Structure 1
Amino acid sequence: MNINRFTHIYFIGIGGIGMSALARYFMAGKTAVAGYDKTKSEITEQLQVLGAIVNFEDKLEAIPEHYKNSEKTLVVYTPAIPQNHTQLNFFKSNNFKVLKRAELLGDVTKSTFCLAVAGTHGKTTTSAILGHLLYSCNVPLTAFLGGISVNYNSNLIVNGTEVSVVEADEFDRSFLKLSPDFACITSMDADHLDIYGEASEIKEAFVAFSKCIKPNGKLFVKNGLPLKGITYGIEDNADYSAQNIRIENGHYVFDVKTPKGILKDFKFNLPGRHNLSNALIALAMAVEYGCPHQQLAKALASFMGVKRRFSYHIKEDNLVYIDDYAHHPEEIKAVLQAVRELYPGKFITVIFQPHLYSRTRDFADDFAKALSGFDNVILLDIYPARELPINGVTSQWLLDKVENKNKALLSKTELLQVLKQNKAQVVLSLGAGDIGEEVYNIKQTLKYAG
């Protein structure tokens, strides 16, 4: 498809993190952009500042008139949009070219040298590190990120169009629309069982994704996954391995064993072995692309992270508050490992908002086990996102499974009241729902507690 024949693009779900990166990309190329989203957010406000027309009501009259020409307007939507969406059905029934987000991303990156990051965990941080490494090595790239990079204050990194970095999203099998030159798979844990049904189905989808790589391309896989490719791992016998790991002044310092020798003394600022693994695979892909060691070392040391990925909001001797997007049991375990490593012996309170009724149901025992590792557990009600309630699946049901004498189910208002009396040492807020919008209130309450 020749995207260039369209002068206007209308995004349905424009406030989504992946959709907004594409919107930014096309606005940078001077294409007219408009769209719909359910709620206003910092992202939609930023898009409006850049020139996008954004509406928040699913009505036909909310669509700008000059976007109602099917010859000029391309329509893009996210799979999270319901089938009965008025605007989407108008475009579909009036012969507009309508694409899913993944189809457009596949089309945009098809003519580039594409590096794709797949896996049920770690995609956003890994792709942000990789984009930053390549940008710092002056590679002419565009990186489409699933989070806001702190270094660039954006989910889009632009330094040219010859190379692309993308997240290969397994939701709705979206990643099968990509044709990468390099691809990595960080993990293949069960998730999105509302889409896949069985854990075996999601593994088969990752296998299918591995076959989407272009001829003579390279697949990178975490050591132990049932796929053949260039392997990577922490302190093991993989092709790329982080070795001689130590912590100096609160940062990881490590060497990288490669198929051609040892690259020494990389410094990395993010905590947790999961993040160290993300940095390692980004380095491996950048090395295989041809980036020089010294520039990579300097670039990695300057990487500042991704918003809502182990983001510090209070970092004092007697009080720490960290916010993270973790919404799967394995991600919660990884955050707990990192915080225990950084703050041994400290009393740790977790505030967790479960995301989706189906995910809560499917992984209830695993969630309970992961949460039981904290010293104090506070649950908020389940964030439904695109789902209707499932009978019997509630946060109270999940909380009853948590083996911890310090636990409570609170509303957001009750949470702030409890935190006012809290003599916390380390507090974490976790989840993929709207808990991120409570960060400021939690921070302010903790700062002035007691």
Structure 2
Amino acid sequence: MTTTRVQLSLARFLTREHHRIHLIGVAGSGMSGVAALLLELGHQVSGSDKSISVEVERLRRLGLQFFQQHSAQDAADAELIVYSSAIRPDNPILIRARQSETRTARRAEALAAIMQGKRGIIVCGMHGKTTTSAMTAHVLREGGLHPSHYVGAEIPILGQNAHWDPRGEFFVAEGDESDGTIRCFYPEHILVLNIEPEHLDFYEDLVQIEAVFDQLIGQTSGKVFFCADDAIATRVCKSDRSVSYGFGENADYRAQDVTLEDFASVFSVFRGGEKLGEARLNVPGRHNVQNAVGVVALASELGIPLEKIATALAKFRHARRRFEIKYASDRFLLVDDYAHHPTEIRATLAAARSTGRNRVLTMFQPHRYTRTKALRQEFGAAFDQADRVVITDVYPASEPPIPGISGQTIADAISAHGHRGVTYQSRFTRVHHDVGNMLASGDLVLSLGAGNIHEQLSILAAELVVAEKLKAIVGEEGEMRLHEPMAKHTTLRVGGPAQFWIEPRTEEAFAELIRFCRRENLPLFVIGRGSNLLVRDGGIPGVVVHPCGGAFDDITVKENEITAGVGAKLKQVAYAGRDAGIGGLEWMEGIPGEVGGALRMNAGAMGGQTFEHVVSVRVLDAEGNAQTMTPSEMQVHYRHVPTLEKNYAVSAVFRGVSSGRDEIVRKLEESQHKRKTTQPAASSAGCIFKNPNSVPAGKLV
């Protein structure tokens, strides 16, 4: 089949002439690539979009005139309007173009026309085509063929997502089958990775999908490379001009002796019965080895020696959002991937599992309501290799909602499949809260989806930078947890998460935490046992310190004085007094709090108050410096100690009176009896209220 006269005319317009061209939706990964090619071809290019991307900023430096709106006036002098399938028919620029009979072209039509100026190579299939097309362009470049390329993502190793190289004959492009526009292309060679039911918002069934690939094959003048491990691709592609690849014995090019290492794979390459050599791929996953063999087959058929191919593969690095490492330390690894189809998810989870981390925690954002509905059962079986899964709501990608279809649909399907570690989080902005609180040393966190789920992973990565520093301060003996629910740490059992929950065990660690928060301008909030503490559902931003364990729990007795750390329970102080024959502290038995909280609010009960018995308080000031203060040096009021707003208590010395053990026990029992007979037996918040001067708060309540 030959190209049409219209396509040849557009090819000449774009590759041999210079014109004024406007692109609608230029910030997208696909359209920005077309813009880059047009600029390098010498056109005067403008573009419009509602948002600005990194690619737009780069294109501006190349000469793009950008408008952050879609206004017909901004494209009034354009000789060609290029738009993608995502652009609605009521776009004002498109309406104006049709009214004025200005020439228009869809993105794929423009790209196909540009490719007519070269020997085209299309990499296509439902999964893996971005990485594989980038790998193909990289190998051909390293092989000295100077290819032009177009890939639907940011490609660090290629420098940009699209480039026109006038020196080379070949043009490598990622083919998009999602909207059928792959039929616009007339390449010399194609590399078909896989074919299966997908994009069922556009196609009715697999028959229609196969028909599109049949047409593309018919429009291909050279060789058809296909994965022999894929039954549908084999059925559609196999012919006397096809070249197969894969793991199977019947493949023309195959990988054997595959060894999966941490973020790398080593394998042998065979052509028929001949071993061509060894190759190393520094991206993880067996599926990437499979795709790499396809690249080996294509490059070999173009005359590039395996030695050069292997060298290029060893240098290759992923495209953005393709198993992209967002954070790595000795304790945690965070990886983002674009996988949004069950097949892709299984392959990506297998790659994550091959890295040898303790657990794989996954946050997944379903993409499109139609895909969620059509493939819910397949999604249910796709997460077996994830230890924990947090599902958020569907990224619509301009689709209207479908009643009864949401992220809960996927969560239910995963649970029905037998997975016991899946939760649904309807609030997108809290996904990183849920996953962050699950984290343990040795975990890999994987964000999956074609929408904006990577934003949640990026937030988590930024928090881990701080969290790791906080953990280093408190050491192995201390605790650090992200997004710890405050409901676990208050007697009211309510409250949202503490962004950074820290439990230091030593005064030195506490002091360094204070200094760190001051340097980093982080809010610092210190709590004791959380008695009668009311925390909002939104939680507490910044660092929440709970000094406990170690020296903070110590209680020592000397004569009539008891020294207690702020983590010691008041009841334990009272019992220490009993055992040492120190009376006057029996009232402490009835307060469900710790020394630190009692000092902070001058807690009291049964007629006694904390500071009536305080000899001294050891505090850390706002800069982490330690000092000892007596009550006379402090502001102390009823249920309020202003001095401890900017100073943090670490221990206190209490003084009682010598008393017989029997007398102390009697008073303790009286206190217990009074509490049991006058206070509710169940949990209550009665003590949260301060007593007015005239009448007890309990009576008013």
Instruction: Name the TM-score, length of structure 1 as normaliser.
Output: 0.93
Partner of 1:12: 24
Residues 1:380 and 2:392 are matched in the alignment? yes
Moved more, 280-289 or 14-23: 14-23
Partner of residue 463, structure 2: 445
CA root-mean-square deviation: 1.8
Is 153-162 or 235-244 further displaced after alignment? 153-162
Q: Whole-Å Cα distance in 1 between the matches of residues 172 and 208 of structure 2? A: 26
Write out per-residue CA displacement over residues 243-291 of structure 1, whole angstroms, 9 at most, x where no aligned residue: 1222467521212111483211111101111111111111111110111
- 1:178 alignment counterpart: 185
Q: Secondary structure at the match of 2:276?
A: strand
- Which of 209, 218, 223 is the equivalent residue of 1:218? 223
Residue among 399, 403, 412 paired with 1:391: 403
Q: Is the 8 A contact 2:119 2:187 kept in 1?
A: yes
Q: 2:174 aligns with which of 164, 167, 192?
A: 167
Kept after mapping to 1: 8 A contact 2:365/2:391: yes
Query: Would you say 1:109 and 2:115 are equivalent positions?
Result: yes
**Which deviates the most, 311-320 or 323-332?**
311-320
Aligned AA (1:401): A
**Aligned residue runs from structure 1 range 24-423, under 5 A:** 24-61=36-73, 63=74, 67-69=75-77, 73-160=79-166, 161-214=168-221, 217-223=222-228, 224=231, 225-226=234-235, 227-228=237-238, 229-247=242-260, 250-259=263-272, 261-343=274-356, 346-403=358-415, 404-410=419-425, 411-423=427-439
Unaligned runs of 5+ in 2: 1-8, 468-480, 482-701
Q: Secondary structure of the residue that 1:421 maps to in structure 2?
A: helix
> 1:420·1:448 contact (CA, 8 Å) conserved in 2?
no
Residue 400 to residue 11, structure 1, CA distance change in 2 (3 Å):
same
Structure 1 stretches of 4+ with a deviation exceeding 6 A read none
**Is contact 1:131-1:157 (8 Å) kept?**
no
Q: CA deviation digits over 1:109-143, x for unaligned, max 9? A: 11311111110111111110000001111213201
Per-residue Cα deviation, 1:129-176 (whole angstroms, up to 9, x for no partner): 000001111213201111121213310244435210011211221111
How far off its partner does 1:47 sit?
2.0
Where 2:153 maps in the other structure, the secondary structure is strand
CA distance in 2, matches of 1:320, 1:131: 29
Hey, what's the Cα distance between the residues in 2 that align with 1:85 and 1:258? 52
CA contact (8 A) 1:138 1:159 kept: no
**Secondary structure, in 3 states, of the residue corresponding to 1:49?**
helix
Q: Which moved more, 1:266-275 or 1:373-382?
A: 373-382
In the alignment, the residues of structure 2 paired with residue 392 and residue 112 of structure 1 have an alpha-carbon distance, to the nearest angstrom, of 48
Q: Which amino acid aligns with 1:38?
A: K
Q: 1:83 to 1:349 in 2, by over 3 A?
A: same
TM-score when normalising by structure 2: 0.61
Gap change, CA 1:236 and 1:442, over 3 Å in 2:
farther
* Structure having the higher Rg: 2
Instruction: Look up the equivalent residue of 1:69 and give its one-letter code.
Output: D
Whole-angstrom CA distance in 1 between matches of 2:272 and 2:299? 14
Deviation of 1:37 (Å): 1.7
Tell me the SS of whatever aligns to 2:151: strand
3-state SS of paired residue (1:147): coil
CA 1:157–1:292: 2 relative to 1, 3 Å: farther
Stretch deviating more after TM superposition (97-106 or 429-438): 429-438
Equivalent pair of 1:327/1:430 in contact (CA under 8 Å): yes
Distance 2:354 2:143 in 1: 32
Match of 1:431 in 2: 449
For the structure 1 residues 445 and 406, does the alpha-carbon distance in structure 2 shift closer, same or farther, using more than 3 Å as the test? farther
Cα distance 1:236–1:315, how it changes in 2: closer, same or farther (>3 A)? Answer: farther
Structure 1: distance between partners of 2:374 and 2:344 = 15
Question: How many equivalent pairs are there?
Answer: 441
The CA deviation string for residues 393-427 of structure 1, in whole angstroms up to 9 with x for no partner, is 11122212222332222223322333443324110
Q: Deviations over 1:301-341 (max 9, x none)?
A: 11111111001122333211110000101000001111122
Alignment CA distance shift 1:300-1:251 (3 Å):
same
Contact 2:36–2:162 under 8 Å retained in 1: yes
**Distance of 1:32 and 1:436 partners within structure 2:** 34
* Aligned partner letter, 1:253: V
Alignment match, 2:575 = none
3-state DSSP class of the match of 1:413? helix
1-structure distance, mates of 2:101, 2:18: 14
Distance (whole Å) between structure 2 residues aligned to residue 399 and residue 250 of structure 1: 29
**Contact residue 123 and residue 174 of structure 2 kept, 8 A:** yes
Distance 1:249 1:68 in 2: 54
Cα gap change, 1:400 to 1:250, in 2 (>3 Å): closer
- Contact 1:6–1:74 (CA under 8 A) maintained in structure 2: no
Task: Please state how far the C-alpha of 1:439 moved relative to its aligned partner.
Answer: 3.7
Amino acid in structure 2 at the alignment position of 1:60 = A
- Is the partner of 1:254 in helix, strand or coil? strand
**Amino-acid identity (%):** 32
Residue 528 of structure 2 aligns with which residue?
Answer: none
Letter in structure 2 aligned against 1:369: A
Q: Which deviates the most, 329-338 or 388-397?
A: 388-397
CA drift at 1:385 = 1.1
Is there any run of 5+ residues in structure 1 with no aligned partner, and where?
none
Aligned to 2:686: none
Task: Pick closer, same or farther for the CA change 1:310–1:100 going to 2, 3 Å.
Answer: same
How many angstroms does 1:22 deviate by?
Answer: 1.3
Counterparts of 1:420 and 1:334, CA distance in 2 = 24
For 1:388, what is the secondary structure of its paired residue?
Answer: coil
Closer, same or farther: CA 34–134 of 1 in aligned 2, 3 Å = same
- Residues 1:157 and 1:263: Cα distance change in structure 2 (over 3 Å): farther
Highest RCO, 1 vs 2 (Cα 8 Å, sep ≥ 6): 1
Contact 1:416 1:445 in 2 (8 A): no
Cα pair distance change 1:444/1:107, threshold 3 Å: same
